[in-house]
Amino acid sequence: MKKYVLPCLIMLTSFSCFFFSISKNLYAAPQMKEIEKKLNQTIEKDSTVGSSVQKWHEKQDELLDEMRRMKVEIQWLTLQNNKYSHYVESNQRKIDELQKINSEYAVIELQLENAMHNYYEQLQYIIKNDMPFLEKERYDRLIFIRDSLDSPELSIGEKFRRFAEALSVEAAYGIEIKNEFHNAKLGETETDLNIMRIGRMAMYALTLDNKKSGIWNQEKQIFMPTTEEEHKYILALQTVISNKQFYQVIALPMGNMKNEQK
């Protein structure tokens, strides 16, 4: 009997260890699954975190690139701003200068227009008291200048041009040697005359038959008869004008040519 007891005990001990091991493994299996699940979650979480970190690094690189680009752009804009600031300041100085010039021009325009009105009155007086030649032409010119000066549509430049042109024509009369034919008084007799004008210095008249002559008297507003000696010089003047021999010197008689000056 003893002979079989020991082997039985050993066998029972082995079975006990086997069942204990199986029961232990059966009890640990759910815990292992839970641990494995948590481990997988941790791995997934780590993977997600790693992906997020990668994306953040990429985003960070993009932001850094954008910051560098913006920094360069700010430097460029600052340069452009400084440049255009100088440009604006320069143009503002030009504008201020032009405004100052315009103000000065306005004053000059006013002074010039006042001067032209004053000179017009003087010109009107001169023509009225001058020797009677080209009267219609000269008075028509006065009316034209008066209308031009009073016109609100004409610029000051155009008014000045017209006025200067009129003065130029009037000034040219002072150096002209002209003759014209019309009816006028020689002494107390009204007759057809050849009237010869030497600028604004003197005016002479000769009858169409060349027998009588006269010198203009501004005070009496008639041609005063000449002496025989004076008549010779006036005949010589007629020859000079007819032949345009203006280089000849003639000792012409001078009548009463005095005008009242304003």
Q: What is the pLDDT of residues 131-188, one digit of tens each?
A: 889 999 999 999 999 999 999 999 999 999 999 999 999 999 988 888 899 899 898 8
Q: Is 18 helix (H, G, I), strand (E, B) or coil?
A: helix
**For strand 189-198 and strand 202-207, is the pairing parallel, antiparallel, or unpaired?**
antiparallel
How many Cα neighbours within 13 Å face the side chain of 36?
6
Per-residue model confidence (pLDDT) at position 60? 79
pLDDT(8) > 70: no
The answer to whether residues 238 and 194 touch, using CB atoms and an 8 Å cutoff, is yes
More confident residue, 43 or 76: 76
**Chain position carrying tokens 């032009």:** 98
Q: What is the pLDDT of residues 63-105, one digit of tens each?
A: 888 888 888 888 888 888 888 888 888 888 889 888 888 888 8
Residue 102: CB atoms within 10 A of its CB come to: 10
More confident residue, 20 or 176: 176
Per-residue model confidence (pLDDT) at position 7? 53
How many Cα neighbours within 13 Å face the side chain of 50?
6
Residue 226: CB atoms within 10 A of its CB come to: 21
CA-nearest of 139, 133, 122, 142 to 202 is 133
Q: What is the pLDDT of residues 207-237, one digit of tens each?
A: 999 999 999 998 888 999 999 998 998 998 8
